Structure 1
């Protein structure tokens, strides 16, 4: 298995506070045949110095530099230098378990999987880590007949998954999408697969930072997430079932935005009405969500969001 090289792409921008934790988790992997591609996206803190220090100590590290152009551009730059058989994405403020590459590659090779998606390990901003017991449980999903964006295992992010190189070859992250750009990339990769494998075990430590792109006021940049789901529906235009699930995910995102705007007193936000309309237009697709609690949540967000938020956040 060591003959398979794993390329790890790490975009870095002003991540000095967390960067050592991330890079330590990469250079200390139990699987050694790695290519660690770090893209410094014009950092103005000590990130570049930290990256250079690690590069001097580990020949597997390739450090690339570019002017600040955003995470999508940085990932694209890194992808152009990938030479491995498999690709893994890690954000510089997160980290992975020491056997991540070994385990995900094991599943990829053994199960002949083009994409292996693991469960996330959620970590609070204060450092409180979710406890997970490994079971080794896996699930094969035939993309054409079983894959759905309303499946709770489908996180719609690029991290936490190992991709066979041919699944991502010549793919690029869209630089005009600021939230959901990785969801499009994940969807494009999946569209090239016949079957993917989900692993119940957690290997990727995802830190939920309050200042991340997914938080804060609903604005034009965050609303590009809806544009992302429109693009994803178009990617699967030839598979009505998956396309409908993407439309349902669009409506689900509208419900989440409505919740956020109600909880923060943003009902006068011009995007509130747009999200209500988005839910209305995708209602029949949202109601295909297999989770009963989720369907109830959508109804509350559409009909009485204010009441729900007052009870939820009182």
Structure 2
């Protein structure tokens, strides 16, 4: 297999306590043809000095120190600096299994894929405090909410899919992290650049909007079975602490309109119309069951 360059983009804000674990897991990847773009988004703690020390140890790290402008603009600046055939995103408080990038690239190269997607671990720290919204508490009477524990999630059986097949699967669980986030996927940089796909400044879920726009151009998608990303839950994140039920419903109505447009372009709107209409009320990993894997466990970090 050829070893094309992968650009791994890591935005950071006040991540001094976790950035070393994140970056060291990237540097330790079995796949070596990577460039690591660290973007310090105006952190007020020791993030920048920690990254300078890390960059001194690995020539593949490019460190950018910039004024605070938010995650969307920071990721866009990372895309502008990327040189790789593929793009991978990692959040600063998360980490990777040693062979994760290799598994993604192997799948992409083997099948000439436009998108590769993988299951992930959702990890809870010992001090995690769950903040449930009123509508989530109400749903608790009919839907069993998963208690905080480390579990694996993935909803697409391993295999190769056409763009239409992938879109049909996605719309059945459109509000899951699995389909909506950036960090369990591999993207083709030429598609991102050629179609000017960038992040929009939003209160939350700019990654779901990014993925929805990218869906227009996916002709071949590959789902791999390997769990290689560790997503650390944070009770103080924007999605947990500042997003209201009204914000969520507004976003979902907006995304529903995008789905209608894109699925019409893909020629599958009539058959998926009911699922698109249901998408505003879809569940996510907090109520859906995890993967049945022997590695799953209920302890917290």
State TM-score, norm by structure 1: 0.72
Q: Secondary structure at the match of 2:122?
A: strand
1:1-314 maps to which residues of 2 (within 5 A)?
1=1, 3-126=3-126, 129-130=150-151, 138-148=158-168, 149-152=170-173, 154-169=178-193, 170-175=196-201, 177-216=202-241, 218-219=243-244, 225-226=251-252, 228-230=254-256, 232-233=258-259, 234-238=261-265, 239=267, 240=269, 241=271, 245-252=275-282
Distance in 1 (alpha carbons) for counterparts of 2:238 and 2:273: 26
Give aligned pairs, total.
253
Distance in 2 (alpha carbons) for counterparts of 1:167 and 1:246: 25
Distance in 1 (alpha carbons) for counterparts of 2:96 and 2:54: 17
Q: Summarize the Cα distance change of 1:52–1:112 in structure 2 as closer, same or farther, 3 Å threshold.
A: same
Higher mean C-alpha displacement, 150-159 vs 93-102: 150-159
Note the C-alpha offset of 1:250: 2.1
Higher mean C-alpha displacement, 155-164 vs 70-79: 155-164
Is residue 39–residue 64 contact of structure 1 (8 Å, CA) maintained in 2? yes
Note the alpha carbon deviations across 1:46-74, whole angstroms, 9 max, x for none.
00111111111111111112211111111
Is residue 2–residue 31 contact of structure 1 (8 Å, CA) maintained in 2? no
Is residue 124–residue 208 contact of structure 1 (8 Å, CA) maintained in 2? yes
Is residue 204–residue 243 contact of structure 2 (8 Å, CA) maintained in 1? no
Note the C-alpha offset of 1:5: 0.4
Q: Secondary structure at the match of 2:241?
A: coil
Gaps of 5+ in 2: 128-148, 290-301
Is residue 55–residue 61 contact of structure 1 (8 Å, CA) maintained in 2? yes
Is residue 180–residue 224 contact of structure 1 (8 Å, CA) maintained in 2? no
Is residue 249–residue 280 contact of structure 2 (8 Å, CA) maintained in 1? no
Q: Secondary structure at the match of 1:63?
A: strand
Distance in 2 (alpha carbons) for counterparts of 1:244 and 1:237: 13
Note the C-alpha offset of 1:190: 2.3
Distance in 1 (alpha carbons) for counterparts of 2:108 and 2:272: 23
Note the alpha carbon deviations across 1:203-240, whole angstroms, 9 max, x for none.
11011111112213543655553355145324444241
* Structure 1 equivalent of residue 134 of structure 2: none
Is residue 256–residue 279 contact of structure 2 (8 Å, CA) maintained in 1? no
Is residue 9–residue 37 contact of structure 2 (8 Å, CA) maintained in 1? yes
Gaps of 5+ in 1: 261-290, 294-314
Is residue 167–residue 215 contact of structure 2 (8 Å, CA) maintained in 1? no
Q: Summarize the Cα distance change of 1:67–1:215 in structure 2 as closer, same or farther, 3 Å threshold.
A: same
RMSD: 2.8
Structure with bigger gyration radius: 1
Is residue 120–residue 152 contact of structure 2 (8 Å, CA) maintained in 1? no
Query: Higher relative contact order at CA 8 Å, sep ≥6: structure 1 or structure 2?
Result: 2
Distance in 2 (alpha carbons) for counterparts of 1:242 and 1:5: 37
Note the C-alpha offset of 1:125: 2.0
